[in-house]
Amino acid sequence: MPFKSISKSKPDPIQRSAIDVFPKFVAQALLGKPFLAEIAAKSETAFALIIHVPNENWMGFLADGLLSILPGTIIEQIRPGRRRSIDASNNQCLDYLADGRSVVAITYDPSVISKDLQATADRIVEVEGIDVRVVRRAINAVAGERAKGLTRTDIATLSPIAVMAAIRNAKSAVEAVARLRRAASGPTARTANSDLPKLAALPLVAEVREWADTLRDDLAALRRGQIKADDIRYGVLEGPPGTGKSLLGEVLAQSAGWRFVGTSVPTWFSSTDGHLGGVTRAATEFFIDLLTHDFSIGFLDELQSIPDRSAMDASHREWWTTLVDLVLLQIDRVRKSGRPILLLGACNHYNHLDTALIRGGRLEQKITVRPPASVHEVHNVLRFYCGTAIDDGELEAIARLALGRAPADLAAGVKQARALARRAGRALVPADLHAGMDLSPERHGPSLEIVARHEAAHALIAHRLGAHVNSVTIVSAGMSAGATESDWGDAPMTRHMLEDRVKVALAGRVADEIFNGGASSGAVGDLAFASNLLRRGRLELGLYDRLGTIDSNGVMARFDGEWLEARLRWLMAETRALVYAERAKILELSDILLEKKVLDADEIVAALGVGK
């Protein structure tokens, strides 16, 4: 039998896993070949390196990678926490440097690095995210194949640990890429809220609809890489309570497929001990969470709870300045990261915000989310909450009566109406909406004619003095028998503008005197508003003969009380002249109001006539 040679194949090498190579590759790419070559050439010289990472997920991961390429180097991870612990970590780094040891300090909060350590650093590195080229290199090292088709979008929402776990010990590049894409889709699916409406279905007023649709398209373009993160403007949604600002933020995130990270300034106090350290930690945690994933929308609600420092006295300003400066620093940190993240604030009183918050480069865009100001807009909100249960004609009649109410109040009314229908064992009917929103025609208190003349005087004088009158109603709501809603714009307050507002408030009382047989207690709210506005003008805004200002809770001197009474009487006389001259038009407007119960802005202009 002839001899047969049998050659044995070499045993397969032990396959490497992602944990063996990925941290090392990331660290090498981060520092770069020139810097690593410089370190190698000066092996006897200690160096100091500070690295700012996006979030806590990076800390241990990057430390492992650095140890694999910089053996013998001290790697210090400095996290926010107790001041004593932070100081000890900084001092330990300085001690090692003084002893000739190389040091790398890693943190996700740059404020914890001491000034001394910063001053001694040879280099400070900002980590913006994971380079897709490094991920491809890791897949090649693990699977022995090139990762074709892998893009930055595929890994944009993943932490380095998640990338490493997805690659793990993949047998092929196709397998690794498929896992990465599944992992990337996970956070969006987990954060989706099936109870949220689609953006297209949300009943938004025209100007907010335009902003929201444009922003959604921009967020989609950013995800596709067609625009840069710097092209997206941060902003503030401002408007009265109940207009749906928070809901809009969540719906925007879901419609764009982005993650939503929400907080409110009051929760920074309520969820901690309320001391400065606890509040600043809560604020910092929000921004850290926001930076955990790309394609995130951060939502800062109740932003007016951060006061304007220029309007504060020295005793309070020092405490608040620390918090305001921290928030400003964190906003700048998010913006400078260049990552696909959008930051939105929300507030009820835009003019009360600290100007540093809303300057260019920060929350620079103002988006006014106003209540529905026409019957058509109210109809859209009611249709959104009612569905198809009520036909258009009946719903429009109800919308007319509900004009002037915030979307949240409309939603609550429909919810109550549905509960009434369920208890009666029937589908929703118009009578349920009347009852649920307290639109019953029965009235307790002053007659409709008295209320109509009172509100008509408010509306006409406001219109004549330059305000935009949004609506006027004689449908009672709670303790109010009627209401007039006006918009005076955002121009800084002057004495003339303030006194115009006072005259509008006094116009209802004057109408009671002229048309309704004399003044009544029904105008007590108007008088309180007029008095408080004049007090603010004199004591806080510096619009009269005082240069010194005091807090609105300060005790008024007796002469201030006398000044207030004298000023009110003078303005009352001015208002009497205005109302008397317009008495025919006021009666005409009140008759229209008695017929329709509610008038929107267009109907008011048509009834009064521009310039008439």
Tell me the per-residue pLDDT of 289-298, one tens digit each, with 9 for 90 and over.
888 788 899 9
More confident position, 373 or 554: 373
Rounded distance between C-alpha atoms, residue 21 and residue 507, angstroms: 78
Mean pLDDT of the chain: 84
Span 314-349, pLDDT tens digits: 666 777 788 888 899 999 989 888 889 999 999 988
Task: Give me the domains of the chain, ranges plus CATH numbers.
Answer: 46-126 (3.40.50.11230), 199-368 (3.40.50.300), 375-436 (1.10.8), 448-608 (1.20.58.760)
Span 83-101, pLDDT tens digits: 888 889 999 999 999 999 9
Span 456-468, pLDDT tens digits: 999 999 999 998 8
- Evaluate the CA torsion angle 170, 172, 177, 178 in order and state its sign: negative
C-beta of residue 575 within 8 angstroms of C-beta of residue 461: yes
More confident position, 488 or 442: 488
DSSP per-residue string spanning 118-152: HHH-SEEEE--S--HHHHHHHHHHHHSS--TT--H
Grouping H, G, I as helix, E, B as strand and the rest as coil, residue 514 is: helix
Q: CA torsion, points 14, 19, 21, 26, in degrees to nearest 10? A: 170
Span 65-84, pLDDT tens digits: 998 898 889 999 998 877 88
Q: Strands (DSSP E) along 449-496, which ranges?
A: 468-473, 483-487
Span 495-546, pLDDT tens digits: 899 999 999 999 999 998 888 777 665 667 788 888 888 888 887 777 887 6
Of 119-128, 256-265, 509-518, 562-571, least confident by mean pLDDT is 509-518
The residue among 322, 319, 260, 307 whose CA lies nearest residue 286 is: 260
Q: Residue 601's pLDDT band (boundaries 50, 70, 90)?
A: confident
Which tokens sit at 588?
A: 């005409």
User: Measuring CA to CA, how many Å separate 315 from each of 40, 78, 131?
Assistant: 55, 33, 48
123-126 and 48-52 strand pairing: parallel
Q: What's the pLDDT score for residue 6? A: 36
CA 493-552-405 angle, to 5 degrees, is 65
The residue among 484, 247, 463, 490 whose CA lies nearest residue 368 is: 490
Q: Residue 189's pLDDT band (boundaries 50, 70, 90)?
A: very low
Q: Is the pLDDT of residue 304 over 70?
A: yes
Q: Is the pLDDT of residue 444 over 80?
A: no
Q: What's the pLDDT score for residue 161? A: 83
